[in-house]
Amino acid sequence: MKIFCRLCNEMKEFRESLSKKQIRVLKFIIDFKAEHGQIPTIREMKEGLNYKSNSIVHHHIDILVYKQYLARKPYCARSLVILKEIL
């Protein structure tokens, strides 16, 4: 999988695989930010991805933070920062 790393501004081949659902969540966040100019809220992600619970969105975000695709800014609304984009 090729990704664009915003930290080093380079295209990289990345071997760590994401599940289809994690890719879907990450693409939703990237597309939403491109369209609206801001990161979606948990509720907007839940509705946009047709999930029934906020906790599953939190679960996928936690994994994406752990795998360093996203980061969180403390004490901030819409606190996610995109570190790596899937191309």
Placement of tokens 């679960």 in the chain: 59
Reference 78, options 31, 26, 39; nearest CA is 39
Model-wide pTM > 0.85:
no
Q: What is the pLDDT along the chain (87 residues), one digit of tens a residue?
A: 667 777 777 776 665 678 889 999 999 999 999 999 999 999 999 999 999 999 999 999 999 999 889 999 888 888 899 988 776
